[in-house]
Structure 1
Amino acid sequence: MTPEPLERVGHGHRFRVWRWPGTGRPVVCLHGFTGDGQDWAPVVGAFGGRPVFAPDLLGHGQSDVAPDPAAHRLPDQALALAQALNLDDFDLWGYSFGGRVALSWACAGPTGVGHLGLIGATPGLADPANAAARRAADDALAGRLLGEPLPTWLAAWQATPIIATQRRIEPQARQAMQARRRAATAAGWAASLRGAGTGAMPSLWANLGALALPVTLITGAEDEKFSGLAAQMHRLIPRARHRVLPGAGHCAHLEAPGAFSDALASLDDAGQTVGD
């Protein structure tokens, strides 16, 4: 099904939002770094015919480039998205970078989020030295992004082990994703790295115990790093469950869409695991 392109404004920023029609409580889906909202197209059906809203995050897709890294700070971007979408009762899913935005959103207080789903996501880095080192690494990566031809940078990025498993994504969907990446604006991605990278985000580890809503953590069996992080998060979040998808790496929902659909089918309308 082809999504309807919408334009929404939040905190002065223009967001492109892709909407798939449906009935029931809406689902908001946030993509990963270098992606856009249309990346969710192959798994929209997993949400059981509910309306799905998938925005292009700042610096990505057809949303504002926002070259100032300060505009990309996760708490501010979460508030901007909340204003732009203006939904009162919805489920929120995020993958990787989008998962960090989603977690920042859910931790902001009463937000209308009924269920939170995180795919290959982290609450940030609690150790200040580790966070500083990551900021430096992301700054260097952003510098290369701005200094190299985009195809050269993309080839190196997609060869990294955590991204390389995306070769499993269904060919037609993967080719469409690649075409959209090649049309991206390097300045937007660079600003996102510098303003919203893992080292730049405020650590949310201390907030996990206060999350009262049901949370589903999904990781790929071959993504050992994020499966380990999810196991730690699972122990801290009161109403969490962790599902590991076989045959998948970091981009678990797109690398193993059937297993992702099965995981969602085991949730009832309140986001609880049936039978738990």
Structure 2
Amino acid sequence: MLSHGLSLVDHGGQGSPLILLHGFLGSGDDWLSVLPELKNKYHCYTIDLPGHGSSGGFSDEISAEADAFAGISDRVHRLLSEEGLLPATVMGYSLGGRIALGFASHYPDDVELLILEGANPGLKTERERQERIDSDSRWSQRFRAEPLKDVLKDWYRQPVFSSLTEEQRNKLVKQRSIDNDGSLLADAMDLLSLGRQSDWWHVSSQLTCNVVYIVGERDNKFLAIAEALKKEAFKKNGKVCKAVVADAGHNAHRDNPKDFLVSLFSAECLKG
């Protein structure tokens, strides 16, 4: 179903709604490896974010907004509300995790559980934000001007993807080159740059629901973020726990689906 410029797919299952948000370059299909087990506990839905999958490009309305994250959160909320899917558990990977965090910031009463996989809560200084905007702008220019396959070869050489084997890297480049449009990715890069995202470090500690931050054991940058979020929440009595996935890098649910599910369902703040 396509509504509010977003593609929502009902995968079925048992229990309360679970909304799954993919990362940059991905689509709802990226969750297929973990959906069978998730459906034993939740009624699962995937959403393709703007510029990805079946959702097409960004609307002129979102493109013109000062805060694209707020615009997407609003559209996701309207879509889920119209379908009677709120409140829900919301899980997002990387870019999807950042969208999930923004959604929880704007609509905290509609989130029963927030699950973040390798998601950055935001940059804390103006200098960091501007440097990230400049870096993302260089990438977006390449996405618009160069063959997608060539850009992706360099994209997957970034430090955050250092845990990938050469075989895994080549497979991703091939798959993502087929599944994506360079100009739409460039729009996503420009509008959803981490440098344009609000500082959401405080959000997880202010929510009344539990927050699970799940991360691959080889994803050192985001392991540190997970620990920092726990400490921030502890100071403010928030309910944040870290779940570490063995033998996995940044995209833990792709690298090790089995242990991803084990780590998620055994997360400390979900016990009892």
Shorter-chain TM-score bucket reads 0.7 to 0.9
Task: For 2:38 and 2:26, locate their aligned partners in 1 and report how far apart those are by CA, in whole Å.
Answer: 20
CA-CA distance at 1:113 after TM superposition: 1.1
The corresponding residue for 1:247 is: 247
> Which residue among 1, 11, 21 is the counterpart of 1:20?
11
Is 1:33 aligned to 2:24, yes or no?
A: yes
Q: Is the 8 A contact 1:59 1:67 kept in 2?
A: no
Counterpart mapping for 1:39-50 below 5 A: 39-49=30-40, 50=42
Report the number of matched residues: 261
> Which residue among 197, 206, 223 is the counterpart of 1:227?
223
Counterpart mapping for 1:1-276 below 5 A: 6-7=1-2, 9-10=3-4, 14-49=5-40, 50-66=42-58, 69-70=63-64, 73-86=68-81, 87-163=85-161, 165-167=163-165, 178-179=174-175, 181-237=177-233, 238-266=238-266, 272-274=269-271
CA-CA distance at 1:18 after TM superposition: 2.4
Task: For 1:41 and 1:169, locate their aligned partners in 2 and report how far apart those are by CA, in whole Å.
Answer: 21
Q: Is the 8 A contact 1:89 1:112 kept in 2?
A: yes
Task: For 2:112 and 2:166, locate their aligned partners in 1 and report how far apart those are by CA, in whole Å.
Answer: 31
Task: For 1:272 and 1:208, locate their aligned partners in 2 and report how far apart those are by CA, in whole Å.
Answer: 13
Task: For 1:169 and 1:99, locate their aligned partners in 2 and report how far apart those are by CA, in whole Å.
Answer: 26
SS of 1:124 mapped into structure 2: coil
CA-CA distance at 1:47 after TM superposition: 1.6
> How high is the TM-score relative to the length of structure 1?
0.86
SS of 2:92 mapped into structure 1: strand
Percent identity, please.
Answer: 28
CA-CA distance at 1:264 after TM superposition: 2.8
Q: Is the 8 A contact 2:214 2:264 kept in 1?
A: no
Which letter maps to 1:225?
K
Structure 1 residues 56, 167: closer, same or farther in 2, change over 3 A?
Answer: farther
Greater mean deviation of Cα atoms: 240-249 or 98-107: 240-249
Structure 1 residues 34, 242: closer, same or farther in 2, change over 3 A?
Answer: same
The corresponding residue for 1:3 is: none
Q: Is the 8 A contact 1:67 1:187 kept in 2?
A: no
CA-CA distance at 1:180 after TM superposition: 5.3
Can you list the C-alpha shifts for 1:206-246, whole angstroms capped at 9, x where unaligned? Answer: 33431221000011111100110111011123101101112
Q: Is the 8 A contact 1:42 1:254 kept in 2?
A: yes
Can you list the C-alpha shifts for 1:187-220, whole angstroms capped at 9, x where unaligned? Answer: 2111111111111111112334312210000111
RMSD: 2.5
SS of 2:270 mapped into structure 1: coil
Q: Is there any run of 5+ residues in structure 1 with no aligned partner, and where?
A: 1-5
Can you list the C-alpha shifts for 1:116-149, whole angstroms capped at 9, x where unaligned? Answer: 0000011110111100110010011100111101
Task: For 1:40 and 1:170, locate their aligned partners in 2 and report how far apart those are by CA, in whole Å.
Answer: 17
Q: Is the 8 A contact 2:219 2:248 kept in 1?
A: yes
Can you list the C-alpha shifts for 1:226-276, whole angstroms capped at 9, x where unaligned? Answer: 110111011123101101112111001111111111123326xxx94225x
> How high is the TM-score relative to the length of structure 2?
0.87
Q: Is there any run of 5+ residues in structure 2 with no aligned partner, and where?
A: none
CA-CA distance at 1:31 after TM superposition: 0.4
Greater mean deviation of Cα atoms: 175-184 or 28-37: 175-184
